[in-house]
Structures are given as C-alpha cells and as structure tokens.
Amino acid sequence: MHSTRRAQSTLCNSFFALPASARAAVWRSQFVHSNTLYQNIPHRHATTSAPAEPFLAAPREGSGPLLSRSANRDLPDINTTRNKWLYTLPLFLLGVTGTAFAFFNYQKASSSTVSSILYALRTSPTARDLLGDEIYFASQVPWISGQMNQLHGNIEIEFWVKGSRAQGQTRFVARRRNKQGAFQTEEWSLKMGDGTVVHLLSEAGEGGKPEVHQVVE
C-alpha cells in the first residue's frame, strides 16, 4: 500500500514537472482521463463551489434571543418600523389634539365666569321656574362651546345646564369696549329643549346678572 502511494506521488510530481504545454497535452489525452490515478492528482487551479444554502428566515419581534449566528440568515425588513410610524403618527396627532381641547375646555369650565353664570341661574326666579332647583351642568363632563378671551375683551360661550325639572342651554355674551373699561353683558339667555328662548338679562336686576372678573394684564 505504501509502495502504491509512493508510486502515485512520484507520478504526480513527474506530471507537474513537465512543461505547461506538455501537461496540457497529457491532460487532454484519453489515457489520463481513463486512468484511476487521475482521481489522486491534486487540482491546483480548480475551484469548487459548494451548493448555495437556503437563507434562514429573519428573526421576528418577540421570537426570543438568537443563540447562534449564521452567515445565511436573512436580514430583517427595514420598512417595518417606517410602516408602524405611518400608522401610529395620525393616532398620536389625534391624541394630542384631543388632549389640548380637553385641557382648554376644563379651563373654561372651571373659570370664575362660568361659576358666576351658574350662581346667577340658581338665584334667578325665571330660571328656577323653568329648570327647577339644584341647577348645575347637564353632564358629568360639561362642554363649554364658544370663546372666552378675557385679554382681548371677548366672551361668547354657551353650555347645557339642568335642574330638578328640566334642562336647557344658556348663552352668555360680554365684551369690553376698551382695555381700561369693564365688561358689558350683551346677552344672557336660556334656550329650553322645545326651542323656547328666554332672555334673562332683561329680567335680572343689577345684582342678578353674571359678573365677569377681569384678568389683570
């Protein structure tokens, strides 16, 4: 067996000792291709490529940590994060807008002007005849529509109130003619559920109408 390997090694060395043209001629001959020693000749210039391995699926969110690394693992999709932002950005803007509206509405509902309107309704005989006793906001979360800009001297709001007998929508409008002047009430009315509008300002006395506490500029 050792003599056979020695003979094969001698044959290989003799083959590569030949000139390039002679090696090419011998290589193309049918004798070399049919000889069993052809399998033992080292292919110095031949390159073999392994079959391509299939790519492994990319890890998904929540699939757990990777315990091993592989060169044929597919990369994750980079568009996934961008698509999530496109879906969640409108929801984020909607949430911010809703929070801002809720904050400004709470600011108006807790203002001294709205408290003065509720107090004036409780002390008004006409309002008590229409609404009843215990006059307060009509809902647990009242919505004050309109604008309340005391710095620029313009208040025009309306909201729903209810009593022990009925509910209605009160409207209050007051404006300031100049920066140094006081607010002048232009309208204070109560609209009932059947559409009847009662003007409370004409029936209220000097101390029976709502007061506007001015903001110090």
Q: What's the pLDDT score for residue 216?
A: 40
Domain holding 141, by residue range, is 85-217
Q: Do 121 and 195 belong together in one domain?
A: yes
Q: What's the pLDDT score for residue 31?
A: 47
End-to-end Cα spacing for the chain: 111
Buried b (16+ CB within 10 A) or exposed e, 26-43: eeeeeeeeeeeeeeeeee
Q: What's the pLDDT score for residue 203?
A: 65
* Assigned domain for 80 exists: no
* Assigned domain for 215 exists: yes
Q: Do 116 and 178 belong together in one domain?
A: yes
Number of structural domains the chain divides into: 2
Q: What's the pLDDT score for residue 15?
A: 65
* Assigned domain for 163 exists: yes
Q: Do 22 and 97 belong together in one domain?
A: no
In this structure, the strands spanning 145-149 and 183-192 are unpaired
Q: Do 177 and 108 belong together in one domain?
A: yes
Three-class secondary structure assignment of 137-194: ECCCCCCCEEEEECCCCEEEEEEEEECCCCEEEEEEEEEECCCCCCEEEEEEEEEECC
68-72 CB contacts, 8 Å cutoff, 24+ apart: none
Q: Which residues contact 217 (CB under 8 A, 6 or more apart)?
A: 151, 179
Are the C-beta atoms of residues 108 and 122 closer than 8 Å to each other?
no
Could you read off the pLDDT tens digit of each residue along the chain, which spans 217 residues? 556 666 666 666 666 676 766 666 666 664 444 544 445 545 444 445 555 556 667 667 677 676 677 777 767 666 656 667 777 888 889 999 999 999 999 999 999 999 999 999 999 999 999 999 999 999 999 999 999 988 888 999 999 999 999 999 999 999 988 877 888 889 999 999 888 899 888 766 555 667 775 544 4
* Assigned domain for 54 exists: no
